[in-house]
A and B are shown apart, each in its own frame.
Chain A
Amino acid sequence: MNLLKIAATTAFGLTATASFAETEITFWHAMGGQLGETVNQVAKDFNASQDEYKITPVFKGSYEETLTAGIAAFRAGEQPNIIQVFDAGAATVIGAAGAVIPVEDLLEQNKLDFDINDYIAGVRYFYADADGKMIGMPFNSSTPILYYNQDALDAAGVTAPKTWEEFAETTGPALKEAGYIPLSQSHLPWIFTENFFSRHNLQFASNDNGYTGLDTQIMVNHPAIRAHFQALTDWKEAGLFEWYGTGWSDNQDPFESGQVAMWLGSSGSFGGIQDRVDFNFSATMLPYWEAVTTEPTQTFIGGAALFAMSGHDEAENAAAAAFFDFLASADTQVMWHKETGYVPITTAAYELAAEQGHYEEFPAAEVGIQQLSLPGGDFTRGYRMGFYVQIRDVMNREYGRILTGEATVDEAFEIIETEANDLLSRFARTQG
């Protein structure tokens, strides 16, 4: 934490010496640790690439803290030029028409090229409005994938499962036999709920997953997902799956220490795992239930997007636009992709990374993009629901109750449905 603050202040100190002719803009983000260093590098590269604009990245804490700080600053008229907002906060910032300038408009006003079709399919519409206009530019885009310990799979004589049926019948029992805990995961709402619906092309919420209206009802109480959570509890009982609480790293650590053989995490976790583990690992796509679909669809992106906040003068908006343009360029995207493991957002960047032989060296780095580029369906572009941070909290709570035996699957899903719909109707009223 302290190191980051030092990094942020150093970055700030550097800009203080900038010449007066430059337009200075600020960029609030939630990328800590190694990721924060990379963000600073991107900003430095941008500042070095031209001499009209100067961007200052500022680390504001977690995703939630960054959004909260942005909201408070906006209300005080002190908002940054660019802010990073995570997937679950998208509805809050996009719902508040007037808080942000759509990135598509911003680029066009400043005569910079923009074509939404340059972006990878799974990335394109998550942060767009109902008409498909891109509001926020996807920045650190990730998607849930299955990491596996190759040594463990070899010891058990199995390969990574494609479907959950395969996991339950073959992979899981064999890994358990070999002395491993077969599976853990790090984010139940994201991996086993939102992307569960996307992977099976099931409708997640009314109003086209919430994109076309405010009076949205969540459709989470679906037999397929109830069956999935029933399977999870059975697996946990049988020693095929373990849950280490709601914290992300509590579930990732046992995989890195070699106790757990397979772990569902973010495609953006690649860089960190690469640095830390001493066993052979790779990754594959998120498994699906053959009983639900035989044609699994793409997942949608998690992570966060960058939004240009309104209330700044034209020169500063032009600077923000130039930064977005720089960010979407293939070179920047490839650098970001290689350093962090987040997926490149444009097809051009993907091709460039492939050309440079990145995926021959690290096949696991390509899994996320492949999964995002799978055929889509009616319900795979994303979701847009207000107070979604609280809805995720409700899910986390109830899933925890299921997995500790305090609630049955049916009870828990009924509670999630009721409380989520109550929150959605409250959010609709905040917009009135």
Chain B
Amino acid sequence: MKRAAFGQIGFPILLLIPQLVIIAIFFYWPAGYAIQSSFYLQDPFGFGSTYVGMDNYTRLTTSRTYLSSFWFTVIFTTLVTFFSLAIALLLAVKADKVIRGAKTYRTLLMWVYAIAPPVAGLMGVMLFDQSRGNITQLLASFGYDYRLGVNYWDTAAAMITVSIWKQIPVNFIFFLSGLQAIPRSVREAALIDNASGSSRFWDITFPLLAPTGFFLLIINITYALFDTFGIVDTIVKGEPGNNPMTLVYRVFVDGFRGGDLGGSSAQSVVLMVLVLILTVVQFRFLERRIHYT
């Protein structure tokens, strides 16, 4: 490959500056500020503050509620990621085979993507409503007394279901285009070699889809961790009470609602570190097994 044709260092730096400035202002500066304020306890209005060292962190390790939010987030993220990927993959494989009316079918499946998370949450609240919800009534006909906002796991189930539903279209689009990128010749060769549909899928199609899947895995974990905020907020109606909370929502509840800037900064830093670890693990261990064509 030919080396880039910049004569001197100045010009490329000039070209990079806008991007670097944006990253510095919107990422490094607030992140640095969060790290700094995580060592302080400060008055919300900014009049007084006390240096407390690692207090804001050690407090988290002993807080029963923080740890329960942590475990809830792990369960939540695992379920949302797994089911939204699995269902989308199934739908994409089936959609790939449809010939007549394929466009309509695909458009219908992608539709959900256009819905904003709080709206999705609101629809969830309506479907799962204690007295009027359709799903509540359906469950009641099976003899299950579903109580959104009262029972911890009932609320969790609504959050998880809505979050999965909201994410399926994105995954579907990517999986479908991934499937369509697999060369016809490879599939035909496989068809001649092996007549069983399922082993053709697992031996040929699935490995070829792996780069798409890996990309989606990261996107989905990030989605479950961060972008579900709006859904969680509408489902708990801003009053968490005894309902489950994800770690991101907890940062908001303690920091913005509760005015505890130091404590919530420490929580943000913990999240930052978790995401960093996750990213390293994903790229180092998972990506090795994937072959990009």
Contact = CB atoms under 8 A, between A and B. Distances in A.
Nearest to A422: B59
Contacts of B212: none
A366 B262 CA distance: 44
Contacts of A93: 45
Nearest to A249: B237
A244 B43 contact: no
Interface in A385-419: 387, 389-390, 393, 396-401, 403-404, 406, 415
Interface stretch (A67-75, A276-284, A347-355): A67-75
Interface string B21-62: 000000000000000000001111111111010000001000
B260 A68 contact: no
B282 interface: no
Given A396-B241, A404-B151, A404-B242, A96 B44 contact: yes
5 contacts: A245-B149, A246-B237, A390-B259, A404-B152, A430-B41
A422 B130 CA distance: 35
Contacts of A74: 45-46
Given A71-B259, A390-B258, A397-B65, A429 B50 contact: yes
Contacts of B59: 422
Interface stretch (B5-13, B134-142, B222-230, B249-257): B249-257
B149 A431 contact: no
Contact of A393 (B52, B149, B240): B240
A257 B129 CA distance: 15
Contacts of A246: 149, 236-237, 239-243
A137 B259 CA distance: 22
A138 interface: no
Given A389-B258, A390-B258, A432-B48, A406 B242 contact: yes
Main secondary structure of the interface of B (DSSP, over half): loop
Given A247-B237, A389-B258, A390-B254, A430 B50 contact: yes
B43 A247 contact: no
A74 B259 CA distance: 14
Residue from B44, B49, B242 whose CB has the most chain A CB atoms within 10 Å? B44
Interface in B175-227: none
A245 B48 CA distance: 37
Given A397-B242, A432-B50, A250 B149 contact: yes
A62 interface: yes
B169 interface: no
A398 B243 CA distance: 10
Nearest to B150: A245
B242 A92 contact: no
A231 B131 CA distance: 26
Interface of A: 62, 64, 67-68, 71, 74-75, 89, 92-93, 95-99, 243-248, 250, 253-254, 257, 387, 389-390, 393, 396-401, 403-404, 406, 415, 422-423, 426, 429-432
B50 A98 contact: no
B158 interface: no
A67 B257 CA distance: 8
B47 A97 contact: yes
A429 B253 CA distance: 20
A372 B15 CA distance: 68
Contacts of A247: 149, 237, 239, 241
Nearest to B63: A419
A401 B43 CA distance: 31
A404 B150 contact: yes
Contacts of B238: 62, 64
A92 B43 CA distance: 8
Contacts of A401: 242
A423 B65 CA distance: 14
B148 interface: yes
Contact of A253 (B131, B239, B258): B131
B131 A400 contact: no
A426 B242 contact: no
A397 B241 contact: yes
A243 B147 CA distance: 10
Given A245-B148, A396-B242, 16 more contacts: A67-B259, A99-B47, A243-B150, A245-B147, A248-B239, A390-B259, A396-B241, A400-B150, A415-B64, A422-B59, A429-B41, A429-B52, A430-B43, A430-B262, A432-B41, A432-B48
A387 B47 contact: no
Nearest to B132: A253
Contacts of B240: 246, 393, 396-397
